């Protein structure tokens, strides 16, 4: 395993720092198991290092003519016993070190998920799902290889060299020096190629992330691709990315392939040197044939440890690149943080915004500018305005998917940053226009809102969302699997299931972000009538006047500010945008009725 000094490239010094951090965080609890694994690998190599001595003694006995049948049989039995012992201890090594690496892999995946869960919406706005999947699969597996095989084979290499070198020196120090002359070249080769492997590994993993991201988007948007006949284009794009990925992989494979031939050439050089120099010593009578035989066996035993240097070095370089990427996720600081202690101080459900200003990362102009409003507990508020006027953004800030750049939002006088995540999620539920359903049954999707809900509670929520009758007509009822993202359901059905999922948690504040856009007018009225009977503060963003005309108050947004506020009839009289929108929708309804009558 190459050691990087202060003159190493910055990326490799960062990698070394990450390895130290990995050792403190994850290896420390398994120190005893790793020590035990080190003991087992030591005993295994003691056994494997001793039997060449017995072979050499047997050869000398035979060469001298003093060998007896019983003496040879005794040495064969001892050699067999040492070989079996070496195998058993190596098995015990795997049982300790490899099992520990699998447990650490589990902890890494758990911590990776935890790191993702604490990130805010801004993080996911910038990080594609495919890239995260590559981290969760490729990168964690690369780190696991370092924690298991790399550590095990590193220990095996060190102990093999230690015992074999000691026994070789005890046979003949000068011949040992000659045999190890290629060793400095091995160290230099490992270091030189290892640096290139690090860079190549990082490029491969980055390319893999892009490939995964592209595939994930294509699978998710397969209906769009087919609707626009873009299959061939997507195939060509994916083929180009795959070709690039293969090219990077082949470059990495060529670098890794340099190790084994290099090691074999150097080991072969060592054997040639031993044959020349050791043969000369045998002819001079300063070395026995048995001793020379032992040298050849010991050099053979060094072939795999020497080759493992390159293999382990490749693992270390790949895992260093993966650790850099993983710790980038682990160290990402969420811009939205929640207190861990439940406040227990929220008595009122009144919602208030004071001077709220907010801009997304990729915009310079604020989406909301100085928005101030107060909503009393139990009120139903409609929000309308042109596209991009800040309606949905306000709901996301109330749900605390983002924090405002300036200003504050309070519930019952308590600022949102002082409310724990559990409290806030229990108080506030949001239903987006494009709801996300999991590839599970209808009942399981509804229970996301309340895991303890029984079937009766689920049916009540479905009835409130005006979808209970449709579900009952499904062959499997509540056990119907909705497919990925609810693809087996219509848009209106997905929206209503999302509303039912929100209602089953009995929220104090319900945010509907154009969540009725895909349902017909009669169904919309049924849902709104039920919501009005609930003691629940409700904010409804909609482009349809029918969704908000019966609200206690309607707010008109324009260019990130509140342009007008009042009841339905007040706004018809006082606000031109609202009046125009109302008249246009009345005309559309009249044309629809006329067309139907004909």
For 447-501, write each residue's pLDDT tens digit: 988 888 888 999 999 988 888 888 888 888 888 888 777 788 888 889 889 999 9
CATH of domain 14-208+249-330: 1.20.1560.10
How is domain 351-435+506-597 classified at the architecture level of CATH? 3-Layer(aba) Sandwich (3.40)
Q: How far apart are CA 236 and CA 232, in angstroms?
A: 6
Q: 425 and 338 in contact (C-beta within 8 Å)?
A: no
What's the pLDDT score for residue 177? 87
For 528-572, write each residue's pLDDT tens digit: 888 888 878 999 998 888 888 889 999 999 988 999 999 999 999
Helix (H) or strand (E) holding 62: helix 31-64
Supply the DSSP symbol for 481.
Answer: B
In Å, what is the CA distance from 255 to each residue of 91, 154, 195?
Answer: 31, 20, 10
* All structural domains of the chain with their residue ranges: 14-208+249-330, 351-435+506-597
User: Does the pLDDT of residue 164 top 90, yes or no?
Assistant: no
The answer to pTM > 0.85 is no
Locate 23 and state its tokens: 């050792």
Q: How far apart are CA 449 and CA 428, in angstroms?
A: 11
Locate 187 and state its tokens: 């160290």
The answer for residues whose C-beta is within 8 angstroms of residue 201's C-beta and 6 or more apart is 142, 252, 314, 317, 318, 320, 321, 322
Q: How far apart are CA 526 and CA 482, in angstroms?
A: 24
- Given pLDDT bands bounded at 50, 70 and 90, which one contains residue 234? confident
For 161, the 3-state DSSP assignment is helix
For 23-63, write each residue's pLDDT tens digit: 888 888 888 888 898 899 889 988 888 888 888 888 888 87
User: Does the pLDDT of residue 362 top 70, yes or no?
Assistant: no
- DSSP result, 345-383: ------EEEEEEEE--TT-SS-SEEEEEEEE-TT-EEEE
Q: 547 and 516 in contact (C-beta within 8 Å)?
A: yes
Q: 356 and 404 in contact (C-beta within 8 Å)?
A: yes
The answer for residues whose C-beta is within 8 angstroms of residue 454's C-beta and 6 or more apart is none
């Amino acid at each position: 395993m190459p050691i990087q000094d202060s003159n190493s490239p910055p990326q490799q010094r960062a990698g070394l720092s990450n390895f130290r951090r990995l050792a403190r965080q994850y290896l420390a609890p398994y120190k005893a198991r790793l020590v035990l694994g080190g003991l087992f690998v030591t005993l295994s190599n003691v056994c494997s290092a001793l039997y060449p001595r017995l072979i050499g003694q047997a050869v000398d006995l035979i060469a001298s003519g003093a060998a007896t049948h019983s003496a040879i049989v005794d040495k064969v039995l001892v050699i067999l016993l040492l070989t079996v012992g070496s195998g058993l201890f190596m098995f015990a090594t795997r049982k300790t070190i490899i099992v520990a690496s699998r447990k650490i892999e589990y902890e890494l995946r758990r911590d990776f998920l935890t790191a993702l869960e604490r990130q805010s919406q801004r993080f996911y706005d910038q990080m594609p799902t495919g890239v995260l999947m590559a981290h969760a699969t490729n990168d964690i597996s690369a780190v696991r290889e370092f924690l298991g095989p790399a550590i095990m084979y590193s220990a095996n290499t060190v102990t093999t060299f230690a015992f074999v070198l000691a026994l070789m020196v005890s046979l003949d120090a000068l011949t040992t020096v000659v045999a190890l002359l290629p060793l400095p070249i091995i160290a230099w080769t490992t270091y030189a190629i290892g640096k290139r492997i690090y860079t190549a590994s990082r490029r491969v993993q980055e390319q893999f992330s892009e490939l995964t991201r592209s595939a994930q988007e294509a699978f998710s948007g397969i209906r769009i691709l087919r609707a626009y006949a873009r299959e061939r284009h997507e195939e060509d794009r994916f083929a180009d990315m795959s070709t690039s990925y293969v090219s990077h992989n082949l470059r990495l494979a060529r670098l890794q392939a340099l190790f084994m031939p290099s090691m074999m050439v150097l080991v072969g050089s060592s054997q040639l040197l031993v044959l020349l120099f050791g043969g000369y010593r045998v002819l001079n009578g300063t070395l026995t044939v048995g001793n020379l035989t032992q040298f050849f066996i010991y050099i053979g035993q060094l072939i795999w440890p020497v080759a493992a240097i390159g293999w382990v070095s490749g693992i270390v370089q790949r895992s260093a690149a993966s650790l850099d990427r993983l710790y980038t996720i682990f160290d990402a600081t969420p811009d939205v943080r929640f207190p861990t202690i439940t406040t227990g101080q929220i008595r009122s459900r009144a919602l208030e915004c004071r001077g709220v200003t907010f801009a997304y990362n990729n915009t310079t102009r604020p989406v909301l500018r100085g928005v101030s409003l107060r909503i009393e507990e139990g009120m139903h508020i409609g929000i309308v305005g042109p596209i991009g006027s800040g309606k949905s953004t306000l709901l996301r800030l109330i749900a605390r998917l983002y924090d405002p750049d300036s200003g504050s939002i309070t519930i019952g006088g308590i600022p949102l940053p002082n409310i724990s995540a559990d409290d806030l999620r229990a108080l506030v539920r949001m239903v987006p226009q494009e709801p996300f359903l999991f590839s599970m049954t209808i009942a399981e999707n509804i229970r996301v809102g309340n895991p303890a809900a029984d079937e009766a509670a689920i049916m009540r929520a479905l009835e409130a969302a005006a979808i209970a009758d449709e579900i009952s007509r499904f062959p499997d009822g509540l056990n119907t699997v909705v497919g990925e993202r609810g693809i087996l359901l219509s848009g209106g059905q997905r929206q209503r299931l999302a509303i039912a999922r929100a209602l089953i948690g009995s929220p104090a504040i319900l945010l509907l972000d154009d969540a009725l856009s895909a349902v017909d007018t009669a169904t919309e009225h049924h849902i709104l009538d039920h919501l009005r009977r609930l003691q629940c503060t409700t904010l409804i963003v909609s482009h349809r006047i029918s969704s908000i005309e019966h609200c206690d108050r309607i707010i008109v947004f324009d260019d990130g500010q509140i342009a007008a506020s009042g009841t339905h009839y007040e706004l018809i009289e006082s606000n031109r945008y609202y009046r125009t929108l109302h008249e246009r929708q009345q005309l559309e309804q009249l044309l629809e009725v006329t067309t139907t009558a004909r």
